[in-house]
Amino acid sequence: MTGNSATTVKPAVPGNSATPENPAATASSADAAQSQPLGGRAAHVHTQSPLGFFCDFDGTISTKDRITAIMREFVPEASASLIERVNHRELSVRAAVEAMFALIPSARFDEVREFVTSTTVIREGFSRFVDYATEHSWPIAVVSGGFDFFVDPAIAPWRDRLTVFYNRIDTSGEYLRTIWPHPCDALCDADCGLCKPTILRSYEQSVRRSVVIGDGVTDFEAARHADFVYARASLLTECQRHGLPHQAFETFDDIVADLSSGRAQALLSTKRGGANR
């Protein structure tokens, strides 16, 4: 998303260089955006995108959590306790993921990559969802707590229409080392690793209505900052518990059906509601 994002979905730069310090979200004139029509197809420049999607990867675009799968396959002894400590909030996601990769020798990285890419399954309807959003010039950011080496191959067919935020792996040492290019800003103290609320904040000027799509507790803080949430699994429970505006989904076709049967129109025509900005 760039300053003239009303007419394009593609980021001008690769998503992974869209750091919080230099977000791809560099727009724009909020005043001009208020007159932006539904769909954003008009040839306005310097406007916001009327709607933007922030989509989780693990358990959302991919049917199953990839980091958990890597843990169970490569560090089975350590994985159970690491996962449990995260679930009990004794350990941050960042610390657990870092600890997990630090147990895997760099010599096994090709094996890890092959395992994870060969077992990734894309959730039904994702391709149609990307088509639908692209038709309306609504940008999609993939905001993943996962890693380049398994997210990139999975989303390759749609890569030019997505902005992607994820983490990286350094294989130069004896053991795998995680690199976190998108850390928490001053407003977040959750030690996220990749900080989803920080990324949402970096889009505040360039997206008028933000929609989070996700499945897990790591999506909750981002969901709290969004105008609307498509949720499944534990994120659905959290949305219900906290009364966030949301809709349950199982496939991306559910999301397209909901958006096209009035949801998008409602989001664009009402004042910002439910957002905890």
Residue numbers of the site for Zn ion (CB under 5 A)? Answer: 184, 188, 190, 192, 195
- Shortest distance in whole angstroms from residue 184 CB to Zn ion: 3
- Shortest distance in whole angstroms from residue 179 CB to Zn ion: 16
- Shortest distance in whole angstroms from residue 87 CB to Zn ion: 18
Q: Give the Cα separation of 176 and 172 in Å (integer).
A: 8
Toward Zn ion, which CB reaches closer, 188 or 217?
188
**Region at 39 (left for phi over 0; alpha for psi -120 to 50; beta for the rest):** left
Toward Zn ion, which CB reaches closer, 190 or 233?
190
Angle (nearest 5°) at CA 243 between 240 and 249: 45
Toward Zn ion, which CB reaches closer, 38 or 190?
190
- Shortest distance in whole angstroms from residue 206 CB to Zn ion: 20
Toward Zn ion, which CB reaches closer, 40 or 216?
216
Residue position matching structure tokens 């030690």: 191
Torsion (CA) 188, 96, 150, 238 in degrees, nearest 10: -50
Toward Zn ion, which CB reaches closer, 91 or 192?
192
Q: Give the Cα separation of 16 and 214 in Å (integer).
A: 20
Q: Give the SS3 label for residue 252.
A: helix
- Shortest distance in whole angstroms from residue 181 CB to Zn ion: 13
Fill in the amino acid letter for 110.
D
Q: Give the Cα separation of 130 and 64 in Å (integer).
A: 20
Length of the chain: 277
